[in-house]
Amino acid sequence: MKDIEFISYLPTPGEQYMIGIATLRIYGKFIIRLKHMHTKDQTSTFFAAPNYAITDGAGKRYLASFELDSKTESQMLNDFIRENVNRVLSQPRANPNTSPSVQPMKQSASIFEEQMPF
């Protein structure tokens, strides 16, 4: 993958479990949105694709709508998103009582250029 664009971050203060939504464009063609969540113990946060809950003979289970098959690449993507979200949240605001700016921001990154074959 030659580049990933960080498009935007939308804080979700009204949601109980979700902190926000990060929007990315991958390979110049695919738009994905990852939810920004707290860990169960509330000590840190992570980004994850929304899940589908299914119930079958094995019981209830969850399937991610998007995932990478490499933990290293997944961590690299997570770090890339976190860096951009931190940048969005640290931008000065004209009115401190409003949500952070969520104007689309494009930043190319070649974090997977060597690792991923597409």
Taking only the tens of pLDDT, the chain with its 118 residues reads 357 899 999 999 998 889 999 999 988 999 999 999 998 898 999 999 999 999 999 899 999 998 888 889 888 989 999 999 999 988 876 655 555 544 444 444 444 444 444 4
In angstroms, the Cα distances linking 108 to 4, 25, 84, 111 are: 5, 9, 11, 9
Rounded to the nearest angstrom, the gap between the alpha carbon of residue 101 and the centroid of all alpha carbons in its chain is 17
Measured CA to CA, the distance from residue 101 to residue 9 in angstroms comes to 8
pLDDT at position 103 is 45
pLDDT at position 54 is 95
Helix (H, G, I), strand (E, B) or coil at 28: coil
Measured CA to CA, the distance from residue 15 to residue 25 in angstroms comes to 24
The pTM for the full model equals 0.72
Phi, psi of 41 (to 5 degrees): -85, 5
Measured CA to CA, the distance from residue 103 to residue 15 in angstroms comes to 21
